[in-house]
Amino acid sequence: MTTETVTSTKELLTEFVRDMPDKITLAEAIEELQILAALKEAQADSAAGRVISHEEACRRMESWITK
């Protein structure tokens, strides 16, 4: 995959198929697509401002550990 911004699901899939190795199992392809979907969702969350700081994330995780 390149680092260019992919704007649509169709473009993402087209790039994925073009760049995937000749020998890939269906399970491996599905796993890669799940990762790409999660990254695309994370990018959308970031663009929409649905993020927290590193410090806030650490504070929240600390509260999970101490419960």
Rounded (5°) CA angle 62-36-57 = 15
pLDDT tens track for 2-17: 445 556 888 889 999 9
Average pLDDT for the chain: 88
Residues in CB range of 40: below 8 A, 6 or more apart = 6, 9, 12
Q: Around Cβ 6, how many Cβ atoms within 10 Å?
A: 19
User: What is the C-alpha separation between 55 and 67, in angstroms, rounded?
Assistant: 19
In this prediction the pTM is 0.67
User: What is the C-alpha separation between 34 and 29, in angstroms, rounded?
Assistant: 9
Confidence of residue 67 (pLDDT cuts 50, 70, 90): low
Residue 20 pLDDT > 80? yes
